[in-house]
Structure 1
Amino acid sequence: MAVIVTFEFPGAGQELYDAVIDRVTGGRGFTRFADLGDPGLISHAAGPVDGGFRVTEVWESAEALEKHAQTFGPILADLGQVDVRPTVVPAHHVVVR
């Protein structure tokens, strides 16, 4: 079952996001899903919110998200984001282009 995950980064901005993407992709950037390396990502959106930055993704399954977290989690910790607690909910409906 697909899951929706939302990451909130209070006090952070695009600089943190860009640093994470740079490390996750080995400096290649993230303009297509193949850049990520982990299969299972359906959608990804990121942008500023009042007082911080938000990333919302849809993954094919909780297992695919967990596999990605094995790479993503240590990178966040290395960048000082040790208390990030994403919100994960089951997706009722997903539409893609």
Structure 2
Amino acid sequence: MAIAAVFEIPGMTQDQYEQSADKVTGGRGPVTSSADWPVPGLISHTAAPTPGGWLVVDVWESEEAFRRFGEIIVPILNELGVPNAHPKIYPVHTVVTR
């Protein structure tokens, strides 16, 4: 079952987000495609600034795929000084893509 992972990260900056994206792609720069992720299963990724930090909403094919990604992204975020980035997980009812 697909899941949505919603990260609301107070204090995270655009620079920290961009650095994390560069590390996720293995140093190839910003993420532009689901193929940029180091594990399969990403359906969509959206990131945006908020008044007090950063918002990321990912949709994954399964909770297991997201957990595999979590093993990669959590150490990256910790390294960048973004501790305690705990998402809220929701089961997805409908996914619409282009």
TM-score greater than 0.5 by the shorter chain: yes
Residue identity in the other structure for 1:24: V
Q: What's the counterpart of residue 65 of structure 1?
A: 66
**TM-score (norm. length: structure 2):** 0.93
Q: What's the counterpart of residue 43 of structure 2?
A: 42
Q: What's the counterpart of residue 10 of structure 1?
A: 10
Give the aligned CA root-mean-square deviation in angstroms.
1.0
Alignment size in residue pairs: 97
Q: What's the counterpart of residue 96 of structure 1?
A: 97
Q: Offset of 1:39 from its aligned partner? A: 0.5
| % identical equivalent positions | 47
Name structure 2 gaps, 5 residues minimum.
none
Name structure 1 gaps, 5 residues minimum.
none
Post-superposition Cα deviations, 1:19-49, rounded to whole Å, max 9, x if no partner, equal: 1011111111211111112110000010111
Q: Give secondary structure in 2 for the equivalent of 1:47.
A: strand
